[in-house]
Amino acid sequence: MGNDTVIGLEIHVQLLTKTKIFCNCSTDYFDQEPNSHTCPVCLGLPGSLPVLNKKAVDFAILTALALNCHINESNIFHRKNYFYPDLPKAYQISQFDRPLAENGFLEIRTEKSAESRNIRINRAHMEEDAGKLIHLERDGKTSSSLVDYNRSGIPLLEIVTEPDIQSSEEAIVFLQTLRSIVQYLGVCDGNLERGSMRCDANISIRNKENGELGTKTELKNMNSFRAIRQALDFEITRQRRLIEQGGKVLQETRRWDESSGKTVFMRSKEEALDYRYFPEPDLLPLFISQSWIESIENNIPELPDERKERFMKDYKLPHYDANRLVEVKPLGDYFERAAKNYNNYKQLANWILGELLCYLGQENIDIDKSPITPVALIELLELIDRGVISGKIAKNIFEEMFKTGQSAALLVEKSGSTQISNKEEIDDIIEKVVRDNCETVQDYISGKEKAIHFLVGQVMRYTKGRAQPDMVLSLLRERIDKT
């Protein structure tokens, strides 16, 4: 098989401006009354004129710079013409041959490969989003369609990669890396399910004999990482089989169908010609001065990669932990808030990446809504460090904290689960375990070192995990040596 898979991605990133790209309507449209965030401009009424939102350009430049792109000084907006009811003007204001940015790259590292790779960015251009169609069904067929223009005119940055991606895994890593960056930049919330980041994937199989690129298909309608991965894997297999059987891949757009787990034919590919692009006469050319670029460049915040390096250096975390903590910005923020007042960093990372993420995931709660705050978590960890409770008991306490929001100290006190550190308290139990397990004791005496661990386990069971295993071990040795 090898690397004969060729993938290029086109990603639409919704920019987090307060208002739309060409009018003053609010962009805060999610879950709002349909058509409540509209005006003559974004409804495309005759006589209305677009005015470019400077903040959208700032965000676009910022993102393009983070993707190592060259910013074009002279920008032109074009009309991309097509008829579809979600597009009120029957054209979309976009960019064509003079996009905002070109020739960038994004460095990615997959879990399997030791080396990182650069995926080249062909271009990044600005455009407006379209409205949304809602199809009503009767007897399994569309009976009528409604249109909601709240999304019409939301600013988008479309990022187009070169066909450099070699597997579905790399595609996912690319998207995760990109999502992480736009979140750190504060230009997009990166929510695939809600569609604030949308990805179309182009895919083909390279001819193994002559190395030539094959005919590509374009996949649409994937709104989660899982869907993207499944769609790509399905399509790779479909194309490979087709070629093996002597068939030909046709250039077409295919839709991912979640319910059947297949990509299905949508339409044959349209050409740029079909869109009759021409310069938008209602907007001036956009000139981006060097000083404008520099002012943005000087304000690029810390990005995930730099933060990862800093976590490894300042907190002495291993690469894996640092990488996972920084990928989602609020998770890294959570760690840093806790690390301000707590310096057993590795233990902190373990608890965040282990217990905390596990419980949050089960309940589908975002880290910034965690019922256990950073302060509450370090309170628990300090109880372990001081030997008040065992790590095992701490896990039970953690669960209670998560459920009730109560503090570790209070829950420990209530449950009476402080660790036994006083020798007399365990002596009786040791006595009982030694008497009840003569055979195991004999095994130990006759040289089977491992047998003693069974005895330690028994003591831990009777104390409900409240004894310190190290102390139990030495007390048991002492006791048996006496006989």
Residues at the interface with ligand ADP (CB under 6 A): 6-10, 160-163, 202-204, 213, 216
Measured CA to CA, the distance from residue 331 to residue 101 in angstroms comes to: 31
DSSP 8-class letter at 178: H
Nearer to ligand ADP, 9 or 441 (CB): 9
**Three-class SS of residue 339?**
helix
3-class SS at 147? strand
Please report how close the Cβ of residue 40 comes to Zn ion at its closest, in angstroms. Answer: 7
Closest residue (Cβ) to ligand ADP?
8
Binder of residue 388, out of Zn ion, ligand ADP, none (CB less than 5 to 8 A by kind): none
When CB distances are held under 5 to 8 angstroms depending on the partner's kind, the choice from Zn ion, ligand ADP, none that residue 233 binds is none
Burial class (CB in 10 A: 0-12, 13-18, 19+), 345: middle
Q: Which does 326 bind (CB under 5 to 8 A by kind): ligand ADP, Zn ion, none?
A: none
Q: b/e string for 135-172 if b means 16 or more Cβ within 10 A?
A: eeeeeeeeeeeebbbbbbbbbbbbbbbebbbbbbbbbb
Which lies closer to ligand ADP via its Cβ, residue 132 or residue 220? 220
Please report whether residue 25 would count as binding Zn ion according to CB under 5 A. yes
The single residue among 23, 87, 352, 459 that binds Zn ion, judged by CB under 5 A, is 23
**Please, which residue, 35 or 122, has the CB nearer to ligand ADP?**
122
* Largest Cα span, the chain: 101
Q: Map 182-213 to HEC letters.
A: HHHHCCCCCCCCCCCEEEEEEEEECCCCCCCC
3-state secondary structure of 144: strand
Other Cβ atoms less than 10 A from the Cβ of 289: the count is 9
Closest approach of Cβ 7 to ligand ADP, in Å? 6
The least distance separating ligand ADP from the CB of residue 6, rounded to whole angstroms, comes to: 4
DSSP letter string over 358-420? Answer: HHHHHHT--GGG-SS-HHHHHHHHHHHHTTSS-HHHHHHHHHHHHHH---HHHHHHHHT-PPB
| Shortest distance (Å) from residue 199 CB to ligand ADP | 10
Binding residue for Zn ion, selected from 13, 15, 42, 459, defined by CB under 5 A: 42
Binding of residue 7 to Zn ion (CB under 5 A): no
Partner whose binding site includes residue 39, from ligand ADP, Zn ion, none (CB under 5 to 8 Å by kind): Zn ion
Closest approach of Zn ion to the CB of residue 153, in Å: 6
Q: Which does 101 bind (CB under 5 to 8 A by kind): ligand ADP, Zn ion, none?
A: none
Q: Which residues bind Zn ion (CB under 5 A)?
A: 23, 25, 39, 41-42
